[in-house]
């Protein structure tokens, strides 16, 4: 009986959690106050607050047309909290809260944990000493029911096994070798038709071989260095629309041929901190409105 009630409660909590699809955090306290990736070098104190606000609002407006949005309250003194992709990894009502490698971002952990808890997500246990920066380094590939996990800079190479155990989805670890592409979502983007958009030079040889072993050539959308540096892979896909900071004509054509509509939403202020569209969002369930 008790067990039955518990199951019903959990179902209700999950349904509530499933209502919102994308988590964002307003850039009230955004800025570059310290340096934890190469993009932040020489950018301390150089962000334009009102331009950042406009760019973020523009992305929010676009997304609100096709997804449910939820917001976590920004906290002063935590300038990177706007990058909710790093709050954790959420799948099927279960959240793994990030364990930041970057000590400057550790105070965000408790705030994100509290948000997930209050929204009714089940919070999975995670070891203290294994760094994991959430959906910045763990990208679900729904077409294959696998999670691509980046490591090498921020998240531990132990994270993929733990994620696999928690969610019962297969994981494939990818080693990141270029410090400019320090999170997997800066250089890799699985799309719902099984296409993978990525920048090959950000990965070591074994990882490139792993990608090729999973995705046939026609599903591999390799982007140029220019597109990679414009954070084209840091894209948010919702219902066939792909929101991204910048996109060359060649990449637009390639994405359109795969059936997607690229929509450019400039996010130059956030690039100063090393983030763009995907970093500013966290997928909470399946993406689109049902």
Q: Report the distance separating Cα 277 and Cα 266, nearest Å.
A: 9
Shortest approach of ligand ARG to residue 154 CB, angstroms? 7
- CA dist 4 and 6 (Å) reads 5
Pattern 130-149, ligand ARG, x by CB under 6 A? ------x-------------
Using alpha carbons, select from 101, 147, 93, 99 the residue that is nearest to residue 123. 93
Shortest distance, CB of residue 36 to ligand ARG, whole angstroms?
A: 5
Residues 105-124 that bind ligand ARG (CB under 6 A): 105
Selected binder of ligand ARG within 67, 80, 87, 262 (CB under 6 A): 80
CA dihedral 107, 110, 115, 119 (to 10 degrees): 160
| Edge-to-edge strand ranges of the sheet holding 69-71 | 69-71, 22-24, 282-283
- Any catalytic annotation for residue 279? yes
Beta 170-175 vs 146-151: how paired, if at all?
Answer: parallel
CB of 273 to ligand ARG, least distance (A): 4
Task: Enter the tokens of residue 238.
Answer: 């919702």
Q: How many residues bind ligand ARG (CB under 6 A)?
A: 16
Does 274 engage in binding with ligand ARG (CB under 6 A)? yes
Q: Which residues on adjacent β-strands are paired with residue 46?
A: none
Q: Does 83 bind ligand ARG (CB under 6 A)?
A: yes
Q: Does 275 bind ligand ARG (CB under 6 A)?
A: yes
Given the rule CB under 6 A, which residues bind ligand ARG? 36-37, 80, 83, 85-86, 102, 105, 136, 183, 185-186, 273-275, 279
Q: Supply the residues annotated as catalytic.
A: 183, 279
């Amino acid at each position: 009986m008790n067990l039955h009630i518990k199951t019903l409660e959990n179902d209700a909590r999950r349904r509530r959690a499933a209502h919102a699809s994308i988590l964002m955090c307003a850039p009230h306290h955004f800025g570059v106050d310290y340096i934890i990736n190469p993009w932040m070098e020489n950018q301390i104190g150089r962000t334009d607050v009102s331009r950042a606000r406009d760019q973020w609002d523009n992305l929010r407006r676009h997304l609100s047309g096709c997804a449910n949005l939820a917001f976590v309250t920004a906290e002063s003194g935590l300038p990177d909290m706007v990058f909710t992709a790093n709050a954790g990894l959420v799948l099927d009502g279960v959240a793994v809260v990030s364990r930041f490698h970057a000590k400057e971002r550790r105070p965000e952990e408790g705030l994100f944990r509290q948000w997930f808890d209050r929204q009714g997500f089940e919070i999975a246990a995670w070891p203290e000493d294994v760094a994991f920066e959430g959906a910045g380094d763990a990208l679900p590939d729904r077409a294959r029911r696998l999670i691509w996990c980046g490591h090498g800079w921020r998240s531990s190479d132990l994270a993929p096994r733990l994620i696999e155990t928690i969610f019962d989805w297969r994981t494939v670890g990818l080693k990141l070798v270029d410090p400019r592409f320090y999170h997997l979502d800066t250089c890799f983007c699985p799309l719902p038709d099984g296409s993978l958009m990525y920048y090959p030079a950000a990965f070591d040889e074994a990882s490139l071989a792993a990608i090729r072993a999973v995705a046939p050539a026609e599903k591999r959308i390799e982007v140029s260095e220019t597109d990679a540096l414009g954070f084209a892979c840091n894209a948010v896909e919702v219902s066939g629309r792909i929101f991204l900071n910048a996109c060359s004509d060649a990449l637009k054509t390639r994405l359109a041929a795969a059936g997607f509509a690229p929509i450019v939403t400039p996010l130059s202020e956030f690039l100063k901190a090393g983030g763009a569209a995907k970093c500013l969002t966290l997928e909470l369930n399946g993406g689109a409105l049902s």
